[in-house]
Chains A and B, each alone.
Chain A
Amino acid sequence: MPISRRRFVKLGAHAAFGGLLVYTLRGIVLPQSTPRAADAEGNSAYDQYRPGDHDWAFVIDTMKCIGCGRCARACKQENNVPWEPQCNRTWVERYSFTGDGEVTVDSPAGGINGFADEPLPEEVRGKKITKSFFVPKLCNQCDNSPCVQVCPVGATYKTADGIVLINRDKCIGCRYCIQACPYGGRYLLPDEGVADKCTWCYHRITRGRLPACVEACPVGARKFGDLRDPESAVSKILAERNVSVLKPQMGTKPQAFYLELDGEVV
């Protein structure tokens, strides 16, 4: 059946208008959200939580870290991260410098058992160590996240409060994000077959608590807070002290900042 261009366009316009009308009306008539079941503690803190009101940031003081690994251990317990095979949402690295200009980095089991019983790496054993320190690492919740950009199914996304999360129902376990993260922050959950990473303890910070690693740190090497609050510890540190981020040349805009970071740390 032949149809003129004029009629075709007219019909299309009507149809588009009608579709839009029904689509909008449905949104008004039907409830916007269904009531939620309360969580295990009898309240649903997330109902009161407004992501748009927060801009979370993390500050790590490498000069304070003692490498006890309490952070990494608390994280495993908090987030049910498997102990085997080795995967960590947060971990601690030991940097050892010898006088000959060599730098050696080790992180036995991610530092979950500390470093007291861990011999120095073979490369530096017997040599004079001129400088050494620990560097705690975790997801940087980058503002310009490579992991979000590469996900082929849009399973990982950034919330309004700046946290990069993974939707396990959508993740297909292709590991592309694991490859894309310049910080090695992601791993594949062995049983679920989905990507996983640090969420800065989203279930704690949305309840007004600190991430588990921050609470566990005995020396205050990890600080967490809201950049929207000018009085928060992280706001003050960022305003007053020398901070840097890991791999700034990658342009990822990390939201985890390091105090007094040595230039050799990558």
Chain B
Amino acid sequence: MLVRAVLAVALLATAGLFMRTVTASLSVEVIGLTHEDNPRWWAERPVNNQSSAACADCHEAATEAAAASAHATVNCDSCHGAAREHIDLARSGQKAPLPLADARDLCTSCHAGLASRPADFPQVDPVTHGAPANGVTSSCTSCHNPHDPGFPPVVKHQLEGRPDCLACHGPDQWQPVPPSHADRTGDSCLKCHKPGEGA
């Protein structure tokens, strides 16, 4: 009888050991009986998107300017892409280009006028605003600095002729020419106005 009892104990012990391997009770208190280390597997996935603070290590000026601007809430990676590989390569001394999509696509994905957007969010009509058809520019960054856009935006004025001025300051546009200026012609705008100096 004793022998039989010992045999039974051994059998059950073996079964118990097997069950323990199967059910892996390491994290029973955490996740129940069946997922020993799966949360750890998920927790140890690599972090691909970096915060802007990580960019400041090398790109101090741009990061600081952006942090103080109306784009302070835009994370670098949001436009430039996930920076993990870029940072890893750069730290090991390798070239690590982080190609940027066309500014017009990047900017309009937030700033194109849409009925669904909150009305108080700055929006423009990409068809008329600085469009190539106006002969002004095809890139938003020709006039706007995405790292320090200003609010309302500070615009680089590199253009001179009246048609160029009217491309943005025509009727129904931003700071339109007053009606009293309607008959003025030629390159006269800059005789009185100093763009960027508040005149």
Interface residues of A (CB under 8 A from B): 7, 11-12, 14-23, 26-27, 32-33, 36, 39-41, 44-46, 49, 51-52, 63-64, 66-70, 73-74, 77-80, 94-96, 113-117, 120, 129, 132-134, 154, 157-160, 165, 167, 169-170, 199, 202-204, 206-207, 209, 212, 215-220
Contact = CB atoms under 8 A, between A and B. Distances in A.
13 contacts: A11-B8, A16-B12, A18-B12, A18-B13, A20-B16, A32-B26, A39-B46, A66-B117, A74-B75, A157-B31, A167-B34, A209-B51, A212-B48
Interface string B61-96: 000000000010111011001100000000000000
B17 A218 contact: no
A46 B48 contact: no
A68 B35 contact: no
B112 A129 contact: no
Contacts of A159: 30-31, 39
B116 A202 contact: no
A165 B35 CA distance: 10
Contacts of A67: 114, 116-117
A26 B20 contact: yes
B74 A218 contact: yes
Among A16, A78, A209: residue with most chain B CB under 10 A: A78
Contacts of A69: 109
Contacts, number: 179
Nearest to B117: A66
Contact of B73 (A19, A26, A39, A218): A218
A219 B9 contact: no
B113 to A, nearest CB: 9
A203 B116 contact: no
A44 B49 contact: no
Interface string B100-119: 00000000111010111110
B109 A68 contact: yes
Interface residues of B, number: 53
B46 A22 contact: no
B25 interface: yes
A15 B47 CA distance: 51
B110 A134 contact: no
Contacts of B115: 96, 120, 129, 132
B190 interface: no
Interface in B126-159: 126
Given A160-B31, A203-B45, A218-B110, A15 B9 contact: yes
Given A18-B8, A116-B126, A219 B121 contact: yes
A134 B43 contact: no
A202 B9 contact: no
A154 B34 contact: yes
Given A15-B9, A15-B11, A165-B35, 14 more contacts: A19-B9, A39-B46, A52-B29, A74-B77, A78-B49, A115-B114, A157-B32, A157-B34, A169-B38, A170-B35, A203-B46, A204-B47, A207-B43, A218-B75
Given A45-B43, A157-B31, A219-B121, A19 B49 contact: no
A47 B19 CA distance: 26
B90 to A, nearest CB: 16
Given A26-B20, A203-B44, A215 B75 contact: yes
A150 to B, nearest CB: 16
B79 to A, nearest CB: 8
A40 B88 CA distance: 11
B42 A202 contact: yes
A23 B77 contact: no
Nearest to A94: B116
Contacts of A77: 48-49, 77, 81-82
Contacts of B46: 39-40, 203
A170 B116 CA distance: 42
Contacts of B192: none
A94 B124 CA distance: 19
A167 B78 CA distance: 30
B193 interface: no
B47 A207 contact: yes
Interface in B1-33: 1, 4-5, 8-13, 15-17, 19-20, 25-26, 29-32
B116 A215 contact: no
